[in-house]
Amino acid sequence: MGKTSKEAQARWNKNNTVFIGLKLMKKSDADILAALDPNRPKQTQIKEWIRTALSMGERDSKEATGN
């Protein structure tokens, strides 16, 4: 990748992404680590879990308000 291509990529990343680091403990987070499929990207699985939890929360709040 050339200098301008790297610069363009860095600009795109700055404008379109957010980095969130996550450190899991082998002992206290063993349940999470065990649930991760080693054959699939961890980031993908964690995003799926978050989206599932968010959609369940939306459903729960709609049921509570009757909407």
pLDDT digits 0-9 by tens, 16-64: 999 999 999 999 999 999 999 999 999 999 999 999 999 998 777 777 7
Residue type, 18: V
Instruction: Determine the pLDDT at residue 23.
Output: 97
Instruction: Encode burial over 19-58: b for 16+ CB neighbours within 10 A, e otherwise.
Output: eeeeeeeeeeeeeeeeeeeeeeeeeeeeeeeeeeeeeeee
Q: What letter does residue 18 receive in the DSSP assignment?
A: -
- The Cα–Cα gap between 46 and 52 comes to 10
Instruction: Determine the pLDDT at residue 67.
Output: 63
Instruction: Determine the pLDDT at residue 53.
Output: 95
Instruction: Determine the pLDDT at residue 21.
Output: 96
